[in-house]
Chain A
Amino acid sequence: MRRASGIFDTSYIQDMTIFRTKYYSAGMVLLILFFLILPFFVRDFWLAFISSTAVTVIALQGLNILSGYCGQISIGHTAFMAVGAYSSTILAAQFGVPLVLCLPFGGLGAAFIGLLFGLPSLRVKGYYLALTTIAAQYLIIYVIKTPFPEVTGGAIALNVPALKIGNFEFQTERHFYYFVLVMLALMTFFAKSLMRGHVGRAFVAIRDNDIASEAMGINLYQYKLLAFFIGCFYAGIAGALWAAYSRVISPDDFTLMGSIWYIGMLIIGGVGGTLGPFSGALFIGALREICVIVGPYISSMIPQIGAQISASLVEMTFGITIILFLVFEPRGISHRWEIMKESYRLWPFSY
């Protein structure tokens, strides 16, 4: 852990503290205040954007634990989100359990299914493991679509009961914004804490060299499966939140393309740190929205080209931006942020 000049950790407690200086704590308080009062000053569009980005960040935190920390590649992350979304919804709709209580069950459902698909990780790794998780993507979506349409809604859609706490119903963008931000804070705190303990260190050891880590006494089977369990738990919670937010779910919401995008977001944000999922989801989410907004402007400024060509142009720009980003900052936005912080701390010295 790097500290600002003149700050020394003299105990383990200080070493483990997340907000080590009063500036960090004050910054965090200001950030919380900012997000608390934000809905009173912005339109619903911004709240919808933040809410859907927050759900994505929760899912990415799970993928980060699984792939970023533990090195187990998963290309079926949206399928595990689907398990969370469908299991929480079915529990709420068919058995009358309040949806808010179903959220953790959605997470657990996804975690156990993830555990099942994590079993091959005990024998295979790298590309081979990636292929087994693609199988999860196809199998899970098939099970949702085909054998039990009366329970899952099949390929059409499944209505999700309203999210309520007591008599209070989460109806507006503002309501859901607060709820999802609280969930995001809790899940991020848990991820951060987990990664700073022995579990996190074991995950990193497995990622860096699994044979060496086994020689050091780390139980590979236990920790790889634990990574799948926790990573998929996060995906399940994100899926359940998405279901509660959108009120209707269908298999079209959980595609292989979505899973690939999640990996892309993680790479762009930076793997192996809790900041990476935030940066990646925000960058890609904002870039998508900018493309969607800029397209009609281009077509209104140059009416001859029409909406189709401008949509295609922004789509190309989107791809080129990502390529350039990966070429010039392959370690992700969070790494760039760290460099900026270091430069600020050392200024005016160059080292």
Chain B
Amino acid sequence: MSAKIWMGFILCLAVVLCFGTAPAAEKGPIHFAILTDLTGPAHAQVSPQGWAVEDYIKYLDKKGGINGHPLTVEVIDTKYQLPLVRTAYTRNKDRKHTTMSFDALSGGIEAMKGQFLIDKIPVLMITGHGPAVYPSSWVFGTVPPYDDYLCAYADWIKKTWKEKRNPRLALLLGDYASGRSPEMAKWYVEKIGIDMVCIEYVPLLPTDTSDILIRMRDKKPDFVFDTLMPDQCKVVLRDRFKLGIKIPQANFVYNSDLIKATVPLEAYVDYMGFQSAASWWEKDVPGVKLSYELYKNRGPIPVMTYIAAVGAAMVWVEAVKNALNKVGYEKVDGQEIYNGYMQIKNFDAMGIFKNIAYSPDDLRGNKWVKLCIFNKDGSISPLTDYYEAPHNLKLKAKEGK
């Protein structure tokens, strides 16, 4: 054979080897299990978060998964019931290449926290319950805990207060574990010179809150902080409007966008909310744009909790990706995913968060909040830039309170 034929043969062989038809080794799947309340009393706030993670993981799978590994997702409805949380967790904990997020009742995640540590299973928490992330265990947050929001609100009040007397603050708390968790930050509020004039509790599914609001009004607070979920928030805002109460009031997360269709716009005057993630009116943020795209089958505008949860899903994927990059598919386990979370520093989830970073003594992930306000025309605008929310439980432990 001539040299030309040999050269041609070698070239063809090279082409076949590079772009040949031999199938690539199939990569193993990674399973994402989302434990959340799709039904039950907290579903209005929580279920959009479950949808967001489901939508993002499916989207990522269509885009080729993580490092070529296909992704499967299972959304498990835990119905705000601890026994279901426990069995859903035990059903998934021994499955290989399975990672879990937890977005159900706060008492539940606190109850399971010790078990995660024993089993060495890192769990992503999409809501923000303080005792779940401090003292540090294997629960990773993506939003500040609710008690930290109260500290942040107190800082803002102190900064903007002009009168000589102490400002007076009232709390309107949801009557359940997460709703009442800001009580843990009462010491901080008093320490920085704010008088806590009353604490009122709002039932999980109220029909009328006039008596609660009248009692609160009689204490003459200058500011109100609430931890109301959408089903409570709409009743409180309606009654507040009916009674003519115009005290500046801030919600722990900006959930008024979930309920604005049900309450007249005038009811929102002086109503504020905390943002710890970008929201639907910030359409130029890439993560928000992606959220709009993911949400299009569900409705025209994604609610804020949905967008924050898309960001949380990105954090989750980043931790898994870090673990895969470090030890490879076969060796990925709970410990490696834990290490994967710890590797996350300065991660902004396509602009949804200001900065996500984990360290062994701070598993909140996100400590940045900004306050925004509902305008008379129905638009929402920021009152502050992002600022750091004090880590209440850590400070409290440090002070020996």
Known: A155-B177, A156-B177. A43 touches B90 (CB 8 A): yes
A-B contact pairs, 21 of them (CB 8 A): A45-B87, A45-B91, A48-B90, A52-B83, A145-B175, A155-B183, A157-B107, A157-B131, A171-B118, A248-B107, A248-B111, A249-B111, A252-B105, A252-B177, A288-B79, A293-B91, A306-B298, A307-B75, A308-B50, A311-B75, A312-B39
Query: Which residues of A (284-317) have their CB < 8 Å from a CB of B?
Result: 285, 288-289, 291-293, 295-296, 299-300, 303, 306-308, 311-312, 314-315
Please pick, from B86, B111, B179, the residue contacting A52 in the complex, using a CB distance under 8 A: B86
By a CB distance below 8 angstroms, the chain A residues around B110 are: 156-157, 248, 250
Q: Is the CB of A44 within 8 A of B77?
A: no
In the complex, how many angstroms separate the beta carbon of B348 from the nearest chain A beta carbon?
27
The answer to whether A252 and B176 touch across the interface, beta carbons within 8 angstroms, is yes
B107 lies within 8 A of A292 (CB): no
Interface membership of B211, Cβ < 8 A: no
List the A residue with the shortest CB-CB distance to B38.
A311
- A155–B83 Cα distance when bound, in Å, is 19
Interface residues of A in 25-82 (CB under 8 A from B): 43-45, 47-49, 52, 56
A155-B183, A157-B107 known; 4 other A-B pairs, CB under 8 Å?
A: A48-B87, A247-B114, A295-B38, A300-B74
- Taking A49-B87, A307-B38 as contacts, is the C-beta distance between A43 and B47 under 8 angstroms? no
On whether the beta carbons of A44 and B90 are closer than 8 Å, the reply is: yes
Asked if B131 and A156 sit within 8 Å, CB to CB, the answer is yes
Whether the pair B87, A52 counts as a contact (CB closer than 8 A) is yes
Contacts of A47 in B (CB 8 A): 90
Q: Tell me if A104 is interfacial: C-beta within 8 Å of chain B.
A: no
Q: From residue 155 to 175 of chain A, which have CB atoms closer than 8 A to chain B?
A: 155-157, 171, 173
Contact B86 A292 (CB under 8 A): no
B51 contacts partner chain A, Cβ-Cβ < 8 Å: yes
> At the interface, yes or no: B103 with Cβ under 8 Å from chain A?
no
Tell whether, in the assembled complex, residue A155 and residue B176 are in contact, meaning their CB atoms are under 8 Å apart. Answer: yes
State the main secondary structure of chain A at its contact with B.
helix
A295 to B91, CA, bound (A): 15
Chain A residues near B106: list those with CB within 8 A: 157, 250, 252
Contact B107 A253 (CB under 8 A): yes
- The residues in B between 279 and 324 inclusive whose CB is less than 8 angstroms from any CB of A are 297-298
| A120 CB-CB contact with B under 8 Å | no
Interface size class of B (residues with CB under 8 A): 35 or more
Query: In the assembled complex, how far is the CB of residue B70 from the closest CB belonging to chain A, in whole angstroms?
Result: 13
Q: Compute how far the CA of A249 lies from the CA of B115 in the bound complex, rounded to whole angstroms.
A: 14
Using Cβ atoms and an 8 Å threshold, which residues of chain B touch A246? 82, 86, 111
CB-based contact B84/A306 at 8 Å: no
**Are the CB atoms of B87 and A289 closer together than 8 Å?**
yes
Q: How far, in whole Å, are A251 and B72 apart by their CA atoms in the complex?
A: 35
Whether A306 contacts B51 by the Cβ 8 Å rule is yes
Judging by beta carbons under 8 Å apart, are B180 and A306 in contact? no
Asked whether any CB of chain A lies closer than 8 Å to the CB of B93, the reply is: yes
| Chain B hits for A306, CB < 8 A | 51, 54, 297-298
Q: Which of B88, B94, B114 contacts A43 (CB 8 A)?
A: B94
In the complex, whether A126 has a CB less than 8 A from a CB of chain B is: no
| Interface 0/1 of B165-193, CB less than 8 Å to A | 00000000001110111011000000000
| Interface residues in B124-139 (C-beta closer than 8 Å to A) | 131
Q: Is B251 an interface residue (CB 8 A)?
A: no
Mask of A263-290 contacts with B, CB within 8 angstroms, 1/0: 0000000000000000000000100110
Q: Contact between B175 and A155 (Cβ–Cβ < 8 Å)? A: yes
B111 and A48 contact, CB distance less than 8 A: no
CA distance A191 to B290 in the complex (A): 60
Query: CA A9 – CA B39 in complex, angstroms?
Result: 54
Q: Which of B76, B80, B93 contacts A295 (CB 8 A)?
A: B76
Report A-chain residues with C-beta under 8 Å of the C-beta of B84: 288-289, 292
Contact B77 A295 (CB under 8 A): yes
Contact with B along A238-260 (1 / 0, CB 8 A): 00000000111111110000000
Query: Complex formed: what's the CA distance from A114 to B115 in Å?
Result: 33
Question: Nearest-CB distance from B150 to chain A (Å)?
Answer: 14
A98 within 8 A of B: no
CA gap between A154 and B186 in the complex, in Å: 14
Q: What is the bound-complex CA distance between A171 and B90, given in angstroms?
A: 14
In the complex, the answer to whether B183 meets A154 with C-beta atoms within 8 Å is: yes
Write the nearest CB–CB distance from A92 to chain B, whole angstroms. 16
Assuming the contacts A156-B131, A171-B118, A252-B107, asked whether A149 and B38 have C-beta atoms less than 8 A apart, the reply is no
Q: Which residues of B contact A311 (CB under 8 A)?
A: 38-39, 75, 77
Contact in complex: B183, A149 (CB < 8 Å): yes
In the complex, the answer to whether A156 meets B93 with C-beta atoms within 8 Å is no
Please determine whether A292 and B75 come into contact, CB atoms closer than 8 angstroms.
Answer: no
Within 8 A of B (CB), among A164-203: 171, 173
| 0 or 1 for each of B25-62: is its CB under 8 Å from A? (1 = yes) | 00000000000001100000001001100100010000
Question: Whole-angstrom distance from the CB of B216 to the nearest CB of chain A?
Answer: 16
Complex contact B114–A307 (CB within 8 A): no
Residue of B nearest to A285 (CB): B83
Closest chain-A Cβ to B81's Cβ sits at a distance in Å of 8
Q: What separation, in Å, do the CA atoms of A44 and B86 have in the docked complex?
A: 10
Task: Among B47, B75, B94, B180, point to the contact of A156 (Cβ < 8 A).
Answer: B180
Interface check B78, CB cutoff 8 A: yes
